[in-house]
């Protein structure tokens, strides 16, 4: 036998097809070869040779095959057995059909030359077959070598034919490393978060960057192909050349600057890049280019152009019809000839539609001039886009920055003051009508502000110098075509992408079904206005005939389609997007190994709607044993990975199988890991550090309070866009494995068990959910990340007392909060340690608003008492009052309340985004002729300060985000 095919004195690539290795319906999970150490008649052993493994599908034409799968290049490793051994090459579960066969291209697979061998050798074969193409054996590209042969090559298949259909798992957890900062932090997939390099010469006194939004691909997990993203990259300039990467679109076409020249990157494009590090009071200037593709999706060619790779509901305000489509006669937008298929969502969309490649930058949490805020109307399109709307109506450039004066030049400029304390912010897209999609697609990056207060804490060792960013999101990835046919047959692979692409909700599934005696749709997700109480009958497009309705169906014998269905667009936004797979720094289910010492984590949630309640729990192995020094050889899961699970209460897990909505499984008591030491939030450093222990979610159960059912206790809780600056001391966890664990309900607080993916959860396919999750696999929204602590000599325990002392008021005013943060407006007892004050904790001047208050008295840092009226605002998302007036879908509105409401006279005035503003705030002149920017605490209330009382009436808990200002949160209170 020969260890490998060879010609003359060296192995050469060959194509070998095994026509007798016929596969059943199922999933190919690995390929195997015999790793031969004896060269036999070959010049060397199998080890060191390279090959591709293939799955081929006969086309029905003699000797012609369709290339279903190409593994990419495998390397035969050295054999651990001198006599040779079978070596396996795992692949993600590859769906195959009965009749498919296997093949390989390359060298290193042993062969016997026999009279009865049936394997087909193609030689010479100068080029490897390409996936999704056809090949012909015996043709000019792959001539057949006339010799009977048998090769030691096989595949392992999970047989799903006949009655063998089983759930075969999902994405494996904790097989890829966490992506870190810069090239030095690259993981095994090559992922890392790029860090922008400032140009400090072009604008003296400022840091200057040229940033572009582009389309690119990056692999997020070993079991997935590269995923298409839109994201930010720093452009190469003469002052900051970087490695000058010639940028290209996913189809290989070059990305060009507006002047037609090749665009070059300072670094390769990476998800969540390019992060920016700024210094307090040193401005950052950005010239922003939109270098996205142009044009629209063409179903004839399959080219997507500038359209998003996500479903865009063009009935959403700002994403469909533009001003060109306004009917000046009737004073309304143009009528839709087919309301379920809006014109602007079709491939042949009218010229007056907004494009899907609009983009901007918004510094989330920044105090910026309004012209640089990146509001929803401050977007631009690529320079060569054919559109009547090349930029939003509010686009204004920085006066002393040139090069972006034209509306069609595809660029705009931004100026960020950075007149804020040290904190983690981020910048992201905010284009009108498509913000949620652009951010989900990848248009977000970190923005870190440093200051002297923070640096002093690092320099004296009070806080750890090692920082680890954790940008947490939830994603869903498009499944294989076979699975997609069952889970989402309406997904357009050609338009939005196939296996491994980002998936997003795009069908409005009503929670009601008037054709059922219960009135409930078991597959439903969101309330539908015409079938709610009170019904929203005055909408433009109500229910329509259901084409699947069968008048002969007997509802007493079987489930029957109702006569009517919602008249919503077939491609409709959902009211929420709760996805099934957590990512951290762009990596799906990452793992990281750390030393037994304290680390500082900078955590940012960029989820669309999902909250995260983060705790650290000790992991267990496949046998339920703890992953610590008492268990040196933990049992692996079927994925081959150890320590992937958190031990849940088995009684609760069992009870949830029959009562998924009523039982909420929690981790076993005693498996808790270290606490969080929280030192900051999105507003910078806290008044005093907070110790936040692991804690499962609980709900308010007191029936006497109006907020019964809201979330009560929790651990480190983050809503979308919220941040946490925390320290974790791992010095007591040497040799242990921990899991970053999340159990926040989705929706929040009203948990839908179909969005709660955890190991051993119920099979909810009969209500539109997912099958039970297997150990070691996703979907699992609870086990976010694995942290392995090295078995090494621990560092001394972290000095929490020294940290608390640094935050305490000092005689010279050098306490962390008092020296680093702007002075508070409302005095409260929680600030006494930080300021050395004696504000009340209880009583009428405790700085806390009661639910019945219409004015508010409080003490200030200067020692005086102020009384101010409360400005009544509101948030409302209750169907029947807050709804979309075109299609009757759920919606949420902000607005105002009637002043000084009384019983029976409280009215919420709902206001849409395009309604006129309720406040026009004058600019405050700070300082005198020397532009002194020191802030003085208010002594009187005529300086423009307002106190807003925001009343929320609805189901979901809503995070609130302010543009242009920092605010002080006074308190939250239940009705």
CA distances (Å), 218 to each of 41, 179, 501, 543, 819, in order?
42, 12, 11, 42, 43
pLDDT at 354 over 90: yes
Q: What is the pLDDT of residues 540-555, one digit of tens each?
A: 999 999 999 999 999 8
What are the residues whose beta carbons fall under 8 Å from the beta carbon of 269, sequence distance 6 or more?
194, 214, 216, 218, 231, 233, 245, 247
Distance CA(828)–CA(644), nearest Å, equals 44
**Dihedral angle over CA of 477, 481, 484, 490, nearest 10:** 100
| Closest to 105 in 3D by CA, of 166, 163, 22, 18 | 18
Would you report the helix, strand and coil content of the chain in percent, each value rounded to 5?
Answer: 10, 30, 60
Q: Exposure pattern of 762-791 as b/e (b: 16+ CB <10 Å)?
A: bebeebebbebbbbbbbbbbbbbbbbbbbe
pLDDT at 904 over 90: no
Q: What is the pTM of this model?
A: 0.83
CA distances (Å), 605 to each of 612, 682, 720, 722, 885, in order?
8, 11, 5, 6, 32
* H helix or E strand, kind and range, residue 29: strand 26-35
Distance CA(442)–CA(834), nearest Å, equals 39
Q: What is the pLDDT of the chain when averaged over all its residues? A: 93
Highest mean pLDDT pick, 421-435, 932-946, 960-974:
421-435
Q: In which band, very low, low, confident or very high, does the pLDDT at 164 lie, cut at 50, 70 and 90?
A: low
Helix spans in 737-821 (H)? 800-807, 816-820
Distance CA(699)–CA(677), nearest Å, equals 24
- Residues 158-174, mean pLDDT to the nearest whole number: 72
pLDDT at 92 over 90: no
Q: In which band, very low, low, confident or very high, does the pLDDT at 177 lie, cut at 50, 70 and 90?
A: very high
The predicted structure's pLDDT at residue 937: 53
Q: Phi and psi dihedrals of 2, rounded to 5?
A: -105, 140
Question: Is the CB of residue 595 less than 8 Å from the CB of residue 729?
Answer: no
Least confident of 5-9, 95-99, 536-540: 5-9
- Residues 892-909, mean pLDDT to the nearest whole number: 83
What are the tokens at 484? 């997609």
What are the tokens at 507? 């069908």
- Residues 708-734, mean pLDDT to the nearest whole number: 98
For 78, the 3-state DSSP assignment is coil
The predicted structure's pLDDT at residue 931: 44
| Closest to 783 in 3D by CA, of 792, 773, 791 | 773
Q: What is the pLDDT of residues 33-43, one digit of tens each?
A: 999 999 988 88
- Residues 673-697, mean pLDDT to the nearest whole number: 98
Q: In which band, very low, low, confident or very high, does the pLDDT at 321 lie, cut at 50, 70 and 90?
A: very high
Distance CA(203)–CA(283), nearest Å, equals 10
Q: What is the DSSP string of 132-170?
A: TSEEETTSSSSPBP---EEE-EEEEEEE-SGGG------
Q: What is the DSSP string of 851-886?
A: TT-SEEEEE-TTS-EEEEEPEEEEEE--TTTSB-TT
Q: What is the pLDDT of residues 828-842, one digit of tens each?
A: 999 999 999 999 999
Q: What is the pLDDT of residues 844-869, one digit of tens each?
A: 999 999 999 999 999 999 999 999 99
Q: What is the pLDDT of residues 122-139, one digit of tens each?
A: 988 889 999 889 999 999
Q: What is the pLDDT of residues 201-241, one digit of tens each?
A: 999 999 999 999 999 999 999 999 999 999 999 999 999 99
Distance CA(389)–CA(432), nearest Å, equals 12
- Residues 288-292, mean pLDDT to the nearest whole number: 99
Residue that the structure tokens 């152009």 belong to: 305
Q: In which band, very low, low, confident or very high, does the pLDDT at 571 lie, cut at 50, 70 and 90?
A: very high
Helix spans in 488-561 (H)? 493-496
Q: What is the pLDDT of residues 381-399, one digit of tens each?
A: 999 999 999 999 999 999 9
The predicted structure's pLDDT at residue 926: 47
Question: Is the CB of residue 923 less than 8 Å from the CB of residue 964?
Answer: no
Domain 581-791 architecture: Sandwich (2.60)
- E-strand spans in 734-810? 737-742, 783-789
pLDDT at 404 over 80: yes
Least confident of 14-23, 346-355, 802-811, 948-957: 948-957
What are the residues whose beta carbons fall under 8 Å from the beta carbon of 420, sequence distance 6 or more?
280, 365, 366, 367, 449, 684, 966
- Residues 404-410, mean pLDDT to the nearest whole number: 96
What are the tokens at 221? 């997990």
The predicted structure's pLDDT at residue 929: 47
Q: What is the pLDDT of residues 668-682, one digit of tens each?
A: 999 999 999 999 999
Q: In which band, very low, low, confident or very high, does the pLDDT at 940 lie, cut at 50, 70 and 90?
A: low
């Amino acid at each position: 036998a020969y260890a490998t095919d060879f010609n003359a004195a060296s192995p050469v690539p060959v194509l070998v097809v095994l026509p007798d290795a016929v596969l059943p319906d199922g999933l190919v999970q690995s390929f195997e070869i015999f790793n031969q150490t004896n060269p036999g008649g070959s010049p060397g052993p199998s080890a060191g040779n390279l090959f591709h493994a293939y799955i081929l599908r006969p086309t029905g034409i003699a000797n012609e095959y369709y290339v279903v799968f190409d593994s990419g290049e495998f390397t035969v490793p050295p054999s651990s057995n001198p006599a040779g051994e079978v070596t396996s090459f795992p692949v993600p579960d590859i769906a195959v059909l009965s009749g498919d066969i296997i093949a390989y291209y390359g060298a290193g697979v042993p062969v016997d030359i026999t009279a009865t061998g049936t394997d087909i050798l193609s030689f010479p074969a100068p080029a490897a077959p390409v996936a999704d193409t056809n090949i012909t054996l015996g043709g000019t590209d792959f001539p057949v070598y006339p010799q009977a042969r048998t090769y030691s090559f096989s595949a392992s298949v999970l047989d799903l034919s006949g009655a063998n259909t089983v759930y075969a798992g999902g994405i494996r957890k904790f097989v890829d490393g966490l992506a870190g900062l810069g090239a030095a932090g690259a993981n095994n997939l090559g992922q890392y978060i790029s860090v922008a390099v400032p140009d400090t010469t072009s604008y003296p006194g400022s840091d200057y960057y040229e940033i572009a939004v582009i389309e690119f691909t990056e692999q997020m997990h070993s079991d997935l192909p590269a995923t298409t993203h839109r994201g930010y990259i720093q452009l190469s300039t003469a002052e900051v050349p970087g490695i000058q990467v010639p940028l290209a679109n996913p189809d290989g076409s070059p990305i060009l600057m507006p002047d037609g020249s090749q665009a070059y990157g300072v670094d390769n494009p990476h998800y969540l890049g390019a992060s920016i590090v700024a210094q307090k009071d040193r401005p950052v200037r950005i010239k922003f280019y939109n270098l996205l593709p142009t044009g629209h999706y063409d179903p004839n060619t399959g080219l997507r152009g500038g359209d998003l790779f996500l479903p865009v509901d063009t009935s959403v305000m700002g994403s469909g019809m533009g001003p060109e489509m306004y009917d000046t006669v009737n004073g309304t937008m143009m009528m839709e000839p087919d309301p379920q298929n809006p014109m602007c969502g079709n491939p042949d969309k009218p010229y007056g539609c907004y494009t899907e490649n609009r983009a901007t930058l918004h510094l989330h949490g920044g105090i910026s001039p309004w012209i640089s805020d990146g509001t929803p109307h401050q977007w631009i399109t690529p320079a060569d886009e054919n559109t009547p709307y090349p930029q939003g109506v509010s686009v204004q450039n920085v006066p002393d920055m040139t090069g972006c004066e034209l509306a069609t030049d595809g660029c705009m400029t931004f100026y960020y003051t950075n007149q804020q304390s040290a904190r983690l912010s981020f910048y992201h897209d905010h284009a009108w009508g498509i913000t949620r999609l652009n951010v989900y697609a990848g248009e977000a990056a970190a923005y870190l502000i440093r200051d002297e207060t923070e640096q002093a804490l690092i320099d004296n060792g009070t806080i750890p110098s090692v920082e680890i960013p954790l940008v947490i999101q939830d994603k869903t990835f498009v499944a294989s075509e076979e699975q997609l046919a069952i889970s989402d047959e309406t997904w357009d692979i050609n338009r939005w992408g196939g296996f491994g692409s980002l998936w997003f909700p795009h069908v409005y599934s009503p929670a009601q079904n008037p054709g059922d005696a219960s009135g409930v749709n078991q597959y439903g997700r969101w309330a539908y206005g015409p079938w709610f109480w009170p019904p929203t009958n005055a909408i433009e497009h109500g229910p329509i005939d259901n084409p699947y309705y069968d008048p002969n169906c007997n509802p007493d014998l079987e489930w029957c389609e109702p006569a009517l269905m919602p008249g919503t667009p077939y491609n409709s936004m959902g009211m929420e997007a709760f996805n099934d797979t957590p990512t951290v720094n762009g990596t799906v289910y990452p793992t990281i190994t750390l030393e037994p010492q304290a680390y500082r984590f900078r955590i940012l949630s960029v989820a669309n709607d999902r909250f995260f309640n983060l705790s650290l729990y000790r992991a267990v192995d496949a046998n339920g044993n703890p992953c610590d020094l008492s268990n040196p050889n933990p049992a692996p899961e079927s994925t081959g990975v150890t320590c992937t699970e958190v031990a849940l209460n088995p009684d609760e897990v069992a009870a949830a199988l029959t009562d998924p909505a009523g039982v909420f499984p929690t981790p076993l008591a005693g498996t808790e890991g270290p606490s969080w030491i929280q030192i900051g939030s999105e507003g910078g450093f806290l008044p005093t550090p907070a110790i936040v222990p692991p804690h499962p979610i609980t709900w308010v159960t007191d029936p006497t309070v109006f907020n019964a059912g809201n979330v009560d206790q929790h651990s480190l809780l983050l809503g979308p866009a919220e941040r946490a600056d925390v320290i974790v001391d791992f010095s007591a966890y040497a040799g242990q494995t921990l899991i970053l664990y999340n159990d926040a309900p989705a929706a929040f607080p009203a948990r839908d068990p179909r969005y709660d993916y955890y190991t051993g959860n119920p099979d909810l396919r009969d209500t539109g959910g997912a099958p039970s999750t297997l150990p070691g696999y996703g979907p699992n929204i609870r086990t976010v990340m694995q942290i392995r602590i090295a078995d090494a000599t621990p560092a001394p325990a972290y000095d929490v007392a020294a940290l608390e002392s640094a935050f305490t008021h000092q005689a010279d005013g050098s306490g962390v909060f008092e020296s680093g943060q702007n002075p508070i407006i409302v005095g409260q007892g929680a600030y006494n340690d930080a300021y050395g004050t004696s504000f009340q904790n209880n009583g009428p001047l405790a700085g806390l608003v009661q639910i019945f208050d219409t004015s508010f008295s409080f003490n200030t840092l200067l020692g005086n008492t102020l009384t101010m009226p409360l400005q009544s605002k509101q948030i409302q998302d209750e169907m029947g009052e807050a709804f979309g007036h075109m299609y009757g879908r759920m919606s949420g509105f902000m607005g105002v309340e009637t002043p000084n409401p009384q019983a029976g006279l409280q009215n919420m005035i709902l206001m849409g985004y395009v309604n006129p503003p309720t406040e026009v705030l004058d600019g405050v002149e700070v300082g005198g002729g020397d532009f002194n920017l020191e802030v003085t605490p208010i002594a009187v209330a005529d300086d423009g300060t307002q106190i807003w009382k925001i009343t929320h009436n609805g189901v979901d808990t809503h995070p609130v985000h302010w543009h242009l200002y920092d605010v002080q949160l006074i308190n939250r209170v239940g009705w």
